[in-house]
Amino acid sequence: MTPETFIIAKASEAIQALYGVQIDPATLQVQVTRKEFEGDYTLVVFPLLKVSKAAPEATGNAIGEWLRTNCPEIASYNTVKGFLNISFSAAWWHGLFAEIAGAEDFGQLPPTGKTIMVEYSSPNTNKPLHLGHIRNNLLGWSVAKLLQVNGNKVMKVNLVNDRGIHICKSMYAWKVLGNGETPQSSGKKGDHLVGDYYVAFNNLYKKEVDELIAGGMSKEEAEKNAPSLKAAQEMLFKWEQGDPEVVELWKTMNGWVYDGFDKTYKDLGINFDRTYYESQTYLSGKALVQKGLEAGIFERQEDGSVWCDLTSDGLDRKLLLRGDGTSVYMTQDLGTAEQRFNEYNLDEHIYVVGNEQNYHFQVLKLILGKLGFDWADSIYHLSYGMVELPEGKMKSREGTVVDADDLLAAMYETAKETSMELGKIDNLSASEQDELFRMISLGALKYFILKVDPKKTMLFDPKESIDFNGNTGPFIQYTHARIKSILRKADEQGIAHSASDLSSEAELSPKEIRIIKILNTFPSKVAEAGAAFSPALIANYAYELAKEFNQYYHDTPILREENKAVLACRLVLVENIAKVLSKAMSILGIILPERM
């Protein structure tokens, strides 16, 4: 039982005994006592005045006195206006500490029986992954891990957008400009090579548009009639008709991209339980569109295109099939959703996609509902903000994005440089140093991105992220390494520090009680973060715990403590700080080093 639930239960008994009223425990508000007041937890008295028919302080004092008299766990109380501040006994804190230290799976919540699918990454195969994709991948992976810790069975999936006009643009540019270039002949990663041709297509297209405008065409006409765009559209049509030459080129160039993606995913520490491909799901989406047509849910226009009219739902008309019969993103999303719910009997499906697609997912839910799928409301769009740089927004068509591979390499070099300057790694081998630099660079990147609430647009500053001080991943990693150093020294000196070595004779200081309080909130913080789909809550919890340890370490002798019972208690405390930090950061996909 947590301190909050204990107080609520006992306060309910006190109200029954004092006022003869059985109160709904859910109406009682308990919070951690603010630092400037004496006490551990505070019961808000104001909502009880109708029951007590007395002033706030008189009500607080009456309940406080009943608790102190009838509950040995309560040591003292004081009332400030309408707030009853309650202090637990030393025995209570020792008991709670022993419970935390002895729990093997502390922070892991019980099974819910639910199956949840989390889709993230979902790249197009016309360009390499960039900084925006990094936020998507890190957020998606972390949310999946968070939901697992919340007791759910979780499926991590990727939907690769491997067909459509985007890849046809890269294919056309390679065909007319590539001279047979391959990743092997160029020495480039496959996704980078294909991305270069996407940029080349855009440059070619712009040139053609300018020429057509100069020849007397309007801008709108020129943009529709540029030869390169018409050629790419023809490629897409041929692909859907199964043209052997187009399909073979499509397979080859997509294969280059997959090899590149796989390396980037590995370097990021990201994985999936299953990968779907749009090329394998869009036909089932077309079948659903046909079903909707037959049921009168959709309508076909004179040009052959198929639409869903959502004006009665406060939206507009949505295109589902083009006039030439080719599908759009919505088509494949309809088919993929049906396939997944049928295959896995999902309780919930979470799409981790940027906020520029808010309208798309609003429409997806509506259309699935109109098609009669009762699970349509189980779809949730985890909409996140864009990542911007000090220089402004990124534009992939113009080749001005921050490439994911380049960023990872730069983060590694910065981590190496910063660590070498600190000069505390001389005792590590070259391979150990390399592993540490990778750990620090990924920890810095993941933490800096995940500590921001997903809904917020964020500004990414690589230099700030790798600082060993402040609210950063390396600061928490260094804190963990410092604790591990203390515990190694204790082992070398033969000092016991397991949960079984705890003694109630060791007096807990106010700072130690504060740390126990923070440790004790970890399971509830996991639940809160899971409900909000927000790894940021876990990141900032870890920072607060690390910060509290560093203050404690600065003010409190640990290995120099002469009282053996107190020494053992302090070692168990810091060991559990390290354990909880490790569990919290693992939800973010961050590894904490033993040495640093």
Average confidence (pLDDT) over 383-389: 87
Closest to 255 measured CA to CA, from 353, 184, 327: 184
Q: How far apart are CA 589 and CA 447, in angstroms?
A: 9
Helical axes 564-587 vs 510-520, angle rounded to 10°: 30
Q: How far apart are CA 322 and CA 304, in angstroms?
A: 7
Q: How far apart are CA 439 and CA 415, in angstroms?
A: 9
Distances in Å between the alpha carbon of 565 and those of 488, 550, 569?
Answer: 19, 22, 6
Half-sphere exposure of 159 (CA within 13 A, CB side): 24
Q: Which two tokens stand for residue 423?
A: 């000069």
pLDDT of the residue at 47:
93
Average confidence (pLDDT) over 564-579: 96
Average confidence (pLDDT) over 293-314: 95
Q: How far apart are CA 126 and CA 195, in angstroms?
A: 5
Q: How far apart are CA 321 and CA 298, in angstroms?
A: 11
Q: How far apart are CA 298 and CA 370, in angstroms?
A: 10
Mapped onto helix, strand or coil, the DSSP state of residue 156 is strand
Closest to 119 measured CA to CA, from 404, 357, 447: 357
Q: Which two tokens stand for residue 190?
A: 């496959």
pLDDT of the residue at 396:
46
Three-state secondary structure along 2-13?
Answer: CHHHHHHHHHHH
Q: Please report, as a single letter, which amino acid is at residue 290.
A: Q
Pairing relationship of beta strands 299-300 and 306-309 according to DSSP bridges: antiparallel
Q: Which two tokens stand for residue 451?
A: 């500590």
Average confidence (pLDDT) over 101-116: 96
% pLDDT > 90, the chain? 84
Buried b (16+ CB within 10 A) or exposed e, 183-214: beeeebbbbbbbbbbbbbbbebbeebbeebee
Distances in Å between the alpha carbon of 574 and those of 194, 365, 541, 546?
Answer: 51, 48, 16, 10
Mapped onto helix, strand or coil, the DSSP state of residue 295 is coil
How far, rounded to the nearest angstrom, does the alpha carbon of residue 326 sit from its chain's CA centroid? 34
% pLDDT > 70, the chain? 98
In which band, very low, low, confident or very high, does the pLDDT at 400 lie, cut at 50, 70 and 90?
Answer: low
CB 97 within 8 A of CB 516: yes
Q: Please report, as a single letter, which amino acid is at residue 509.
A: S
pLDDT of the residue at 397:
45
What value does the mean pLDDT of the chain take?
A: 93
Q: Which residues share a beta bridge with 309? A: 317
Q: How far apart are CA 337 and CA 340, in angstroms?
A: 5
Does 399 have pLDDT greater than 50?
no
Closest to 118 measured CA to CA, from 159, 162, 163, 149: 159
Average confidence (pLDDT) over 258-287: 93
CB contact set of 93 (below 8 Å; sequence gap of 6+): 508, 513, 516
Buried b (16+ CB within 10 A) or exposed e, 303-327: eebbebebeeeeeeebbbbbeeebb
Q: What is the pLDDT of residues 207-217, one digit of tens each?
A: 999 999 999 99
Average confidence (pLDDT) over 395-406: 67
Distances in Å between the alpha carbon of 126 and those of 38, 59, 157, 412?
Answer: 61, 68, 20, 26
Q: Please report, as a single letter, which amino acid is at residue 103.
A: A
pLDDT of the residue at 426:
78
Mapped onto helix, strand or coil, the DSSP state of residue 317 is strand
CB contact set of 245 (below 8 Å; sequence gap of 6+): none
Lowest mean pLDDT among 98-102, 309-313, 469-473: 469-473
Count of residues in the chain: 596
N-terminal to C-terminal alpha carbon distance within the chain:
37
CB contact set of 373 (below 8 Å; sequence gap of 6+): 337, 338, 341
pLDDT of the residue at 392:
52
pLDDT of the residue at 394:
44
Q: How far apart are CA 496 and CA 437, in angstroms?
A: 32
Answer left, alpha or beta for residue 103, where phi above 0 means left and psi between -120 and 50 means alpha: beta
Closest to 411 measured CA to CA, from 267, 258, 261, 581: 267
pLDDT of the residue at 423:
72
pLDDT of the residue at 494:
93
Q: Which two tokens stand for residue 455?
A: 């809904």
Q: What is the pLDDT of residues 216-264, one digit of tens each?
A: 999 999 999 999 999 999 999 999 899 999 999 999 999 999 999 999 9
Does 393 have pLDDT greater than 80?
no
Q: How far apart are CA 199 and CA 169, in angstroms?
A: 9
Distances in Å between the alpha carbon of 591 and those of 135, 226, 258, 477?
Answer: 18, 51, 26, 8
pLDDT of the residue at 440:
95
Q: How far apart are CA 158 and CA 136, in angstroms?
A: 11
Does 74 have pLDDT greater than 70?
yes
Kindly list the structural domains of the chain, giving each domain's residue range(s) and its CATH number in brackets, ordered by start.
3-88 (3.30.1360.70), 120-398 (3.40.50.620), 407-587 (1.10.730.10)
